[in-house]
Amino acid sequence: MKQTIRSFALGLLVAGVIILATFYFTADKRDASQKLSTDEMIASIEDEGYHVLNESEYISVSVNSDNSENKTKEKEQNKSTQKNKDTDKQNKKNDDNSNNDKSDSDNKSEDSSKEGSDKKDTVSYTLKIKSGMAPSVISNKLAENDIINNADKFTRYMENHDYTKKVQLGKFKFNSDMSHYEIAEKLTN
C-alpha cells in the first residue's frame, strides 16, 4: 500500500513541476499580448470590422439617434393632430348644418379648454420597466409624457448618483410635480 501512495505522490509532484514550467515559459507570450498600446488595440479591433468610439462620440451618436426617433414621433403626432383638426372642422360644419344651439357648442369648447388646462398643471404617467431597458430609454419615455423636461439631464442625474444599476422591474406611476430625486428613488425602491 505504501508503494502505491508514494507513486501517486510522485506523479502529483511531477505534474506540478510540468505545469509550473509551462506557466513560467509561456508567461512572456501572455504579457506581450496584454501590453498593446491603445492605438494598436484600436487598429486591431478595426481590422476585425468593428468601430471604436470614444465616450463623447458615443453620446453624440446616442443623442442623434434619440433625436431622429423624437422627430419621427413628432411628425406622426403632427399628422394625427392635423387629422383631428380636419375631423373637428367637419364636425363643426355638420353641427352648423343641423342648426344646433350655439350656447351648447360654447359650453363644449369651455369644457375642453378646462380639460386642457388641467392636463398642463399636473401630468400623470405609468411607466413599465422591462428587463434590459437603458436609463436613456426610461428618461426619454418620461420626457415624452411630460413628466420631466430634459431626458439627458435626468439620465446624467441617474448616472452621477448611481441609480442606473439599481433600477427595478415593474410598473411605476409618476407625475410632473416629482423631482429627479423622487423619480429616481421610486425607480430604485
Give residue limits of the domains in the chain: 2-47, 55-96, 122-189
For domain 122-189, the CATH architecture is 2-Layer Sandwich (3.30)
pLDDT-derived band at 155, boundaries 50, 70, 90:
very high
Tell me the pLDDT tens digit for each residue of 71-120.
777 777 777 677 766 666 666 665 555 544 444 444 444 444 444 444 45
Q: 0.95 exceeded by the pTM?
A: no
More confident of the two residues 83 and 25:
25
**Residue range 117-150, pLDDT digits in tens:** 444 578 999 999 998 888 999 999 999 999 999 9
Can you give the chain as a three-state secondary structure string? Answer: CHHHHHHHHHHHHHHHHHHHHHHHHHHHHHHHHHCCCHHHHHHHHHHCCCCCCCHHHHHHHHHHHHHHHHHHHHHHHHHHHHHHHHHHHHHHHHHHHCCCCHHHHHHHHHHHHHHHHHHHHCCEEEEEECCCCCHHHHHHHHHHCCCCCCHHHHHHHHHHCCCCCCCCCEEEEEECCCCHHHHHHHHHC
pLDDT digits (tens, 9 = 90+) for 29-80: 555 556 778 888 888 888 888 888 888 888 888 888 777 777 777 777 777 6
